[in-house]
Amino acid sequence: MSDEALRNYYRERAAEYDEIYRRPERQAGLRALEAWIPQQLAGRHVLEIAAGTGYWSQFIALQAASITLTDLNLEPLAIARDRVQGRAVFVQADAWALPEAMGSFDAAFAGFWFSHVPLARRREFIAGLNARLAPDSPVLLIDNRYVEGSSTPIAERDDAGDCWQLRNLSDGSQHRVLKNFPDETELREAIEGLGEAGVYRVSEHFWSFMYFTPGI
């Protein structure tokens, strides 16, 4: 089941979402990922989870055989449609119930999504994603590291261990958003028995984690 508050927050944020990609301190890290990510997915049929406004899809699409952008919200997907060139398909889909009818894929990507997955549901998410992928498919997750002075402060850690931020939108509304900052150990635990050959990389502001779905 999806989190309605998270969905609504991103629906309302769609028009201003890309501002995060203009933050000066993140530019070097972004350029490095923009070059590196498409190389890992080149020639693949890529399933993208929670694709949002298609920021990463625009780069992946240049080298992938195809890309299917999924998101629960239509508002960011509409922005992505204008942005993503190449063999791209746009599907409104819940990351927690990925439709089998979308077809089969041999790679997956999720940008800034895993941080919104509750600790208790991480393995459920990985298993659900893997179910849509062929054996030996690369899965690439990227997300934020917590950086003092740049990241929105963590307002609260609940009994389940999940972190929450209070985020403001330009209309003056404030939203309580689940945002975790997993380390390498946590990511490896999330794929234990579900994925192989995990590789964790970090830069100042971002982490990436790539694993492969089990072979036959």
Ligand X SMILES: C[S@@+](CC[C@H](N)C(=O)[O-])C[C@H]1O[C@@H](n2cnc3c(N)ncnc32)[C@H](O)[C@@H]1O
73 near ligand X (CB under 6 A): yes
Q: How far is the CB of 94 from ligand X (least distance, A)?
A: 4
Stretch that binds ligand X, among 65-73, 121-129, 130-138, 191-199 (CB under 6 A): 65-73
Angle of CA points 186, 187, 189, to nearest 5°: 65
3-state per-residue secondary structure call for 16-32: HHHHHHHCHHHHHHHHH
How far is the C-alpha of 204 from the C-alpha of 86, rounded, in Å? 31
Q: Which pairs count as long-range contacts for 36-40, CB under 8 Å and 24+ apart, including other chains?
A: 36/208, 37/109, 37/140, 37/142, 37/208, 38/62, 38/63, 38/64, 39/63, 40/138, 40/140, 40/210
Q: Which helix (H) or strand (E) holds 212?
A: strand 206-212
Q: Which is nearer to ligand X, 77 or 190 (CB)?
A: 77
By CB under 6 A, the residues from 106 to 135 that bind ligand X are 111-113
52 near ligand X (CB under 6 A): yes
50 near ligand X (CB under 6 A): yes
How far is the C-alpha of 14 from the C-alpha of 75, rounded, in Å? 6
143 near ligand X (CB under 6 A): no
Question: Which of 64, 95, 133, 140: binder of ligand X (CB under 6 A)?
Answer: 95
Per-residue buried b or exposed e for 84-106, using 16+ beta carbons within 10 Å of the residue's own CB: beeebebbebbbeebeeeeeebb
Amino acid (one-letter) located at 64: A
Q: How far is the CB of 70 from ligand X (least distance, A)?
A: 6
Count of residues near ligand X by CB under 6 A: 19
Q: Which is nearer to ligand X, 2 or 168 (CB)?
A: 2
Question: Which of 30, 45, 68, 71: binder of ligand X (CB under 6 A)?
Answer: 71
Give the residue at shortest CB distance from ligand X: 52
Question: Which of 76, 138, 182, 195: binder of ligand X (CB under 6 A)?
Answer: 76
191 near ligand X (CB under 6 A): no
Under the rule (CB under 6 A), what is the footprint of ligand X? 2, 6-7, 10, 50-52, 55-56, 71-73, 76, 94-96, 111-113
